[in-house]
Amino acid sequence: MNSYRFDVLSLLPKSFSAMTELGVIGRALNKGIAELHLHNPRDFTKDNYHKVDDEPYGGGAGMVLKPEPIFTAFENIPTYKRRKVLMMTPQGNVLAQKDLLRWSENNDQLVFLCGQYEGFDERIRTLADEEVSVGDFVLTGGELAAMTIINGVIRLLPGAIGAAESLIEESFSDLLLEHPHYTRPAEFCGMRVPQVLRSGDHGEIAKWRQEKRIERTKKRRPDLYRRWIENDQSTEEEND
């Protein structure tokens, strides 16, 4: 099976180095489950100063990334058949777990356009299939957002996580947050592990965990809880 390929256009390629060295993601990259390729637009400039930005037409604060080096760098990236090009921008659709799952299953290559300075020349947007934001806030560049997506997609790839079943009931997999977890000792600082988890009754344990997922989501993320209720009701109507 071919590796899943990630290509990142970034003015700060060194910021991705830790991904290849640490934890689950580093192991997956080193095992060849995925590949990470970094492309610096400065390497595709033609002037002696490797200039990648310029003043905006019409005036205003900040500098804007020029289209020429971005387009040239982009055109030098190998193209897989199931490729998706993502632009990291606060103007994009907010990232959700379903997006990570969709990209992990439907694509073999993700290309990231990471901005800096005031933003992209508008014509660069024509390269993107999707514009993605990791939240309603602004960072100095798109690198952290790209790393977030790379991390989220890689951990869903076959072989990346040792216990694949751990992905099934985690937070956001079905709109509900994850249930509480406990391990030894059974009592710590006066706090006890719920008896049901020590009972060995797997049916009751599953019931308790689902109840806690619902309870926790309703309390902490009422927006997700409402969506879960609506989705559950729609499923019941379809089955009637």
Over residues 50-104, the pLDDT tens digits come to: 999 999 999 998 999 999 999 999 999 999 999 999 999 999 999 999 999 999 9
CATH classification code of 169-239 = 1.10.1270.20
Q: Above 60 in pLDDT, residue 36?
A: yes
Residues 173 and 188 sit within 8 Å (Cβ to Cβ): no
Q: How many residues does the chain have?
A: 240
Residues 90 and 79 sit within 8 Å (Cβ to Cβ): no
Please state, for a pLDDT cut of 90, what percent of the chain lies above it: 84
Task: State mean pLDDT over 208-216.
Answer: 96
Q: Give the pLDDT of residue 170.
A: 60
Domain boundaries, the chain: 4-154, 169-239
pLDDT per position as a tens digit, 164-200? 555 655 656 688 999 999 999 999 999 999 999 999 9
Give the span between the Cα atoms of 41 and 69, in whole angstroms: 5
Domain 4-154 in CATH: superfamily? SPOUT methyltransferase, trefoil knot domain (3.40.1280.10)
Tell me, yes or no, if the pTM score tops 0.95: no
